[in-house]
Structure formats: C-alpha cells, structure tokens
Amino acid sequence: MAFLAAALDRVKPSATIAVSQKARELKAQGRDVIGLGAGEPDFDTPDNIKQAAIDAINRGETKYTPISGIPQLREAISAKFKRENGLDYTAAQTIVATGGKQVLFNAFMATMNPGDEVLIPTPYWVSYPEMVLLCGGTPVFIETTIEDGFKLTAEALEKAITPRTKWFLFNSPSNPSGGAYTHEEVKALTDVLLRHPHVWVMTDDMYEHLVYGDFTFATPAQVEPALYDRTLTINGVSKAYAMTGWRIGYAAGPLSLMKAMDMIQGQQTSGACSIAQWAAVEALNGPQDFIASNRTIFQGRRDLVVSMLNQATGIECPTPEGAFYVYPSCASLIGKTTEAGQRLETDADFVSALLEQEGVAVVQGSAFGLGPNFRISYATSDALLEEACKRIQRFCASLR
C-alpha cells in the first residue's frame, strides 16, 4: 500500500519557486545570473510598519491571536474595503491568514466537493489549479489571447459555465500577465455571472494598487453589488506594502463562508503571526503616500522592459496595465536552434537555454497554462533589468 497520499499525484511543484531555486544554485556555482522569476517587490518594508512591529514586541503582543485575526486588524480591513473599494464588510465578515495562499486554500477546502468545477482563466498563477486539485475539485481552464491583453471575454466565460461550476476565480491585475480589467470589462463578466446564481466569485486583488497611467482598479462586488452575497474578495499586504515575508493575507465575504474558513484555519494553523498582524494594522491605517512613488518606479521599469523586449528578434511583448510582470510571446522562436545546437521545441526549452547561455532566469509560460510565452518579474533595479534585456536580445539574435 502506498504511503504518500494519492492527492499528490494530481499536483505539480511550483514552477516559479523551481526557477528561483535553479538561479540560486547557479549563482552558488559562481555563474553570473540575473533572476527575474520571483514575484516580490525589491523595496524594503516602510519604516513606520517595521516600527509598529517592534512596538508590538515591546508591548508583549507575542501570544496566540484569535483564529480569524486580531480585532484591530479586522477593523482596519473593514475600513480599507469601505475607503478604497466602496464595499461594506463588517469586521466579522473578514478573515486574516498566513498569506493570500492560505485564504484561497481555506476557501477551497471549505467549499469543494468531488466533481465541483472552478473556472480559471489562462494564464493563471501557478498555485490556483493545484489548490483546487488538492481540495478535490476540478479546474476548468478558459483560454485568453495576447490580442485581448490576456483578458477573459464575457462570451468565453458564458460558454465555460456548467451546472457543476462552483467558483469563478478572477485575478486582476494578473499574475503572470499584468493584465488588468477596466470597470466596463469587469461589468461584462459580472453580467454573465448574474445569469448563473449557483456560481460564486473568488477575486484575488493582491495587485490592486499596482496599476499604471490613468487606469482605475475595480473589483467585482464593487462593480455589481448584486454579487456581494456570493463573492469572496481577497487581498493582502505583501505586494503594495512590500511585506512578502510578513505573510499576511486577508479576505472578506458572506458570514457563513467566513465561519467555515475560520473552522478550517482553526484546525490548521490557528491565527497568523501576532507581530505581523500589528504591522499590517499600521500598513492599512498608516500613511499610504509611498505606494504612489513605488508605483511610479514600477511603471518606469515596465516601460523599459517592454521597449527592450520588443526590440528583441522574435519577441512580442504587450504593455500590461498592472502588477510587476510582463508576459511576452516567444512563438516566433519555437523551432529555432541555439548556439549549442539545441532545437527549441517549447517555451520551457527557450527558458532553459536562456538561463544556460545568458544567465537570465525567467519562467516558462506553460507553467501558467498558456504558451509559448515567458514571465518576467520587473521588481528589480533598472540596471539589472537593462542588462537582462540586453542578454535576452543577444540570445534571441543568436538563434538560427
């Protein structure tokens, strides 16, 4: 009898973590490697947030917390949703978890039965389908196109819904494409969902504050209040506040779902780190001005990378509206041969050869369910991005 769970046969390891690990190994061997695989800001956590954590330690805030979060943070989350999104959630309708990943996992664990389907647009964040599979559900992928900015159309959503559909998983701005939906584009999707009252919406708004130019962020329950009672709105402090390692994600939704998620979390991890929660209170309630300045820096990096990649032979790189990723196509380079004599059959071959030949670590699009593409995280310095793009240009020019 097998010792390990059969569920593990259904899932794959994280490709983004694998790329970062490979880059670290090559660096340890003395290779000059530029890693563009990790999805985290290179900015430090703001000083006022760090000080709030230090103050919490000095006050002795080092004990177990309530499962769903300290009251002060749940109140701050409720205020954030009202202030920024026009959404009325009581503190009791919120939950705090150890990162956004746990929020997603809790929600799936609390709602999935065998045969339940979750609609996931491609390209998707690598963990979405694996979480669904681990929780006994069935991921159903809806393909988007580069021509549509990797954004789902209402027609494609309508066609994918079946009587078994339980969740529609929505992510804007998107990891990995950076694509973000306008108010009108969200409305087109919510109009479809209104016709299917058995489908709930799980919206991952983690990159909410990282949108560029005059783009205005919109979230489904805000756009269509009639969906409020079947929407789980997920967010966190990791991206906007440069707090990835603090591991605080949060969500708000119907009270019945919150209670179910609280029960799951109570048997799993209990409350998130007390000190990180107090830091998150300061993040949400404190000064927000640094977000705009960080956004300006990210926009400059985006424009640099898009411009340089579009100058590379055989690369097509759209300009995304948000997040800190680009998702260029390398379709024109499939079938070509490297200087080492390797024929590129897939985007995974492209990524592997790029790392080997030029020391640039990116993630293959097939890991996100849509290729031949690759994802670049531009959450690093201009100098490193410029050098990485020069190497990509050189690599593409060398293919025959």
**CATH code: domain of residue 27:** 3.90.1150.10
Residue-by-residue pLDDT tens, the chain, 400 positions: 889 988 888 888 877 777 778 888 888 899 999 999 888 899 999 999 999 999 999 999 999 999 999 999 999 999 999 999 999 999 999 999 999 999 999 999 999 999 999 999 999 999 999 999 999 999 999 999 999 999 999 999 999 999 999 999 999 999 999 999 999 999 999 999 999 999 999 999 999 999 999 999 999 999 999 999 999 999 999 999 999 999 999 999 999 999 999 999 999 999 999 999 999 999 999 999 999 999 999 999 999 999 999 999 999 999 999 999 999 999 999 999 999 999 999 999 999 999 999 999 999 999 999 999 999 999 999 999 999 999 999 999 999 9
Residues 164 and 298 in one domain: no
Based on the domain organization, do 274 and 140 belong to the same domain? yes
Contacts with 242 (C-beta within 8 Å, 6 or more apart), sequence order? 40, 41, 43, 44, 45, 46, 294
Residue 217 and residue 295 share a domain: no
Expressed as residue numbers, the domain containing 330 is 6-44+290-398
- Domain finish residue from 285, 311, 333: 285
8 A C-beta contact, residue 209 and residue 240: yes
Q: How far apart are CA 263 and CA 259, in angstroms?
A: 6
Phi then psi dihedrals of residue 337, to 5 deg: -120, 140
- Asked if 26 and 69 sit in the same domain, the reply is no
Name the residue type at position 47.
D
How far is it, in rounded angstroms, from Cα 331 to Cα 271?
46
Last residue of a domain, one of 240, 265, 285: 285
Where is the domain boundary, 239, 264, 285?
A: 285
Q: Are residues 272 and 298 in the same domain?
A: no
My answer on whether 260 and 334 are in the same domain is no
81 lies in the same domain as 187: yes
Supply angle C-alpha 131, 135, 136, rounded to 5.
120
Asked whether residue 57 is domain-assigned, the answer is no
CA 393 to the chain's CA centroid: 27
Q: Check: CB of residue 126 under 8 Å from CB of residue 367.
A: yes
Let me know whether 112 and 232 are in one domain: yes
pLDDT tens, residue by residue, 1-53: 889 988 888 888 877 777 778 888 888 899 999 999 888 899 999 999 999 99
- Whether residue 35 contacts residue 351, with contact meaning beta carbons closer than 8 Å, is answered with no
In a domain, 54, yes or no: no
Residues 142 and 105 in one domain: yes
φ/ψ of residue 283, rounded to 5:
-60, -45
275 and 254 in one domain? yes
The residue whose two tokens read 């790189």 is: 317
* Total structural domains within the chain: 2
In this structure, is residue 50 part of a structural domain?
A: no
Domain-embedded: residue 51: no
Q: Are residues 277 and 303 in the same domain?
A: no
**Is residue 299 within 8 Å of residue 213, measured between CB atoms?**
yes
